[in-house]
Structure 1
Amino acid sequence: MLMLGNKEIARLFFEETWSKGNLAIVDELTSPDFKIHYTIFPQPLDREGFKSFITDVHAGFPDLQLTITEMIAEADKVVICWAAKGTHQGLIHLLNLPPTGRAISYTGVEMYRLSDGKIVEGRTEEDALGLLQQLGVIPAL
């Protein structure tokens, strides 16, 4: 089997989960004690919580497209800057928000920490305010 570096592992994980909705890759590329932190959640998500989140986002935005705009890797960390766009066509359970039909476009940054070829931790910062404004949940300023 081909050994991948941290940057390649992070890219594969990001593209397979966020861009394609591939949940099987989560167990393959993360450690059993994997945690990922999102500012919108009070507690970090584990593997199963992350899979549920991916499923919910893809149900709400079936045409979701994420593009990596920059990647930086150093030692055990990989940072991915990304841009997302899609159309809100399905229920988002997290927000109990029925489809609005609105197009969205926003950006974010993910940082992964890896150990022994597995992602052990992730942290995400994204323009949640801008996204919620585009969806009409929060009025634009």
Structure 2
Amino acid sequence: MTASQKNSERLSVPEQLQYSQDHVWLDASGSPAVLGVTEYAAEQLGDLVFLDLPEAGGHVQVGDEILELESSKAVEPLVCPVAGTVVYVNRAAADDPAVINSDPYGEGWILKIELDDDQPDLLDADEYAKLIDAAQ
């Protein structure tokens, strides 16, 4: 077993989500869609200490830097993989950014967005697993 195979088996990549190459996940199964950072991204960043959320009601485009994630290692922008209107932001995650590290696909969601396009150009779980394996 290679190191990359071990990596994808160790990290969670939920099947029902879609993923960007910038390690952002999207759950478009409901409305509004939910967006967050992947377990891989949270692990790479280290312990998150600050999250600068966008304002609800704002419109974002694909490729917009919508917030900054500050960790013990770095400050990284979160690049939005979809276009739409921000409906809700996760204030609990802003108050305690560690929830993103501990539960990135659950309580650690970042924002809820009303999508402009119901068919965003994102990776499925298998494609994303291959991407993170290649990064190792």
- TM-score (norm. length: structure 1): 0.28
Q: Which has the higher strand share?
A: 1
Larger Rg: 1
- TM-score (norm. length: structure 2): 0.29
